Structure 1
């Protein structure tokens, strides 16, 4: 799960949730709503497939 952590402006967020266009690629990971983001959505870009 830690592989889904991303750093943004000195804070760590977990981009666990994701949508899939294909079983093995094209996943879009994002962070759940967090008050630190002030209503913004944080998207985590992971080039390689993450461990499951």
Structure 2
């Protein structure tokens, strides 16, 4: 009983870690993409004018 409970806790901690990791990667990717897109638009505008 105690062994299965600790195993469930371990799996739960592992899942939390994975979700935090995925969230961080997704957030950084969106941020990077947004900055990249903005700089690309600025460069295009500067080339036009």
- Provide TM-score, normalisation by structure 1: 0.16
Which has the greater radius of gyration? 2
Structure holding more helix per residue: 2
Structure holding more strand per residue: 1
The structure with higher relative contact order (CA 8 Å, sep 6+) is 1
- Provide TM-score, normalisation by structure 2: 0.17
